[in-house]
Structure 1
């Protein structure tokens, strides 16, 4: 067994005690951190100031949906008022033309010519036997799931689907047609925004109803041979879209009451 001298052990103990009593040196902070810290605080303060000035005491993340809903409602009311005013003005013009026709032979001749073309232009009400086609989006499932292999676009009626039905009914020699109760004429444009229909400035949601007056057998045949209608029927069978054809003895089509002004025209020859 090896022994150490008492003096040596005592000396080492005193050294350790002395080192323990000395103050520890703090690690030196890096120069980059010392510079970046005030910069970060300065930028953060500037952002807070800009946010406060922009908000002006309001919540910047406030939900804007109620405001948008009110704006849409106001625009619909303005559009309805404009349509009513336009109808009144057209009625006044018609009254003045009829009065003038009684005193001017040329005006009377052109007036009679125009009256003869009103029915073909869709400006008179029509009723008779026909068919009604209804297109609808696929119903939503309770759990929010979709049919296998389906995308969101597969489950809604699109613009080309409505156009396919309208074109098929015209090719079946429809005498008159309405879409959502609105008379369809040669200048009518069928447009869809999302899964809503835009027609003559009005927005309609599905189901979309197209009614046509004419030979019922011919209208049905035209629907059956239409390629666009066939594709929609296949999608309806696969994804659950709605497609219905009704034969009705009395279909009513009111006169077109929108604007008949043309901005441009091109000869078909």
Structure 2
């Protein structure tokens, strides 16, 4: 829809309204409904002028979804470039630290202490026996069970968290979600049926890999109330749950920043 100049259309409407009111005051016989014509014209002019000002020469009904999708793609590209640059800078810092440690005894001792804890902290890749869990959305059902909704057909944040917590409780030595290493500071969040992890966005099926004693890990999953609730949903709503034992499973090292952004003191330590 195209709009004319707001000021020009407004002046035209005002002139017509004034002429209509002047004729009314001269006592001309007019139908009762015609008395409201100037007021209607005045309101219509106000509406068109406001719309033209808001539109600023563009269409108010234009579909902006392509622009939004492009904006998301641009931000993802920028994020990937920033993460690549950050990884290069971390490597540079590590190399410089190793060089300094060769001639500085205090730094060498601290570097040795850090290296001894890198594996436990998740900064080295590990391999060994373990289990892989896959959680997936259900197919779109034409006939839902009584009392069910489409919200029952997707994997939720609580489902992923239940599996992760059960695997840690079962003695997992290392864990990854969608091939991204999970640390003690990792936060699992979902928006709709997508997973947010360390700045990345992932769609189901969600693949969770854990290195550890397979029997202990499977027992921890079986004992978890949250996992059992999801398995019940698998039966009722055809959600996907697959549990696989692997004799040799690889978990990558964490390559992001481990800096803490938020922390609180436990009640017992206050």
Q: Same fold (TM over 0.5)?
A: yes
| CA-to-aligned-CA distance 1:200-259 (integer Å, 9 cap, x gap) | 011101111100001000000000000000001001111111111011112111100111
Q: 1:54 to 1:232 in 2, by over 3 A?
A: same
Alignment of 1:236-251 (within 5 A): 236-251=234-249
User: Distance between the aligned counterparts of 2:248 and 2:146, measured in 1?
Assistant: 41
The alignment's TM-score, normalised by the length of structure 1, stands at 0.85
Aligned counterpart, 1:201: 199
Residue range with higher mean Cα deviation, 56-65 or 194-203: 56-65
- Looking at structure 1, the residues matched to 107 and 135 of structure 2 have their Cα atoms a distance apart, in angstroms, of 46
Q: Distance in 1 between matches of 2:230 and 2:119?
A: 32
State how far apart, in whole Å, the 1-side matches of 2:244 and 2:196 are.
Answer: 24
Q: Which runs of 5+ in 2 are unaligned?
A: 1-28
Aligned residues: 239
**Structure 1 residues 80 and 167, CA gap change in structure 2 (3 angstroms):** same
CA distance in 1, matches of 2:62, 2:241: 41
1:259 aligns with 2:257: yes
Whole-Å separation in 2 of the counterparts to 1:40 and 1:226: 68
1:42 deviation in Å? 1.0
Give the structure 2 partner of residue 159 of structure 1: 157
Aligned positions of 1:210-221 closer than 5 A: 210-221=208-219
**In structure 2, do the counterparts of structure 1 residues 93 and 36 end up closer, same or farther at CA, with 3 Å as the change threshold?**
same
Give the structure-2-normalised TM-score. 0.84
Q: SS of the residue aligned with 1:127?
A: strand
Secondary structure of the residue aligned to 2:259 is coil
Give the Cα–Cα distance (whole angstroms) in 2 for the partners of residues 266 and 145 of structure 1: 47
Equivalent residue for 1:84?
Answer: 84
User: Separation in 2 of the partners of 1:28 and 1:35?
Assistant: 8
What displacement does 1:128 show?
Answer: 1.0
After superposition, give the CA deviation of every residue in 1:71-126 in whole Å (9 maximum; x if it has no partner).
Answer: 11011111101110110010010011001101110000000000000000000000
| Helix, strand or coil at the partner of 1:133 | strand
Distance 2:228 2:127 in 1: 28
Deviation of residue 50 (structure 1)?
A: 2.5
Q: Mind listing any 5+ residue stretches in structure 1 that lack a counterpart? A: 1-26
**Structure number with bigger Rg:** 1
C-alpha distance in 2, partners of 1:145/1:75?
Answer: 39
CA distance in 1, matches of 2:107, 2:251: 30
Runs (4+) of structure 1 moved beyond 4 Å? 266-269
How far apart in 1 are the matches of 2:219 and 2:104?
49
Q: CA RMSD in A?
A: 1.6
Shift of 1:264: 4.0
Q: 1:40 to 1:214 in 2, by over 3 A?
A: same
Equivalent position of 2:70 in the other structure: 70
Q: 2:148 aligns with which of 131, 147, 150?
A: 150
Map Cα deviations across residues 111-159 of structure 1 (whole Å, 9 max, x no partner).
0000000000000000111100000111124xx4434431121111100
Task: Tell me which residue corresponds to 2:5.
Answer: none
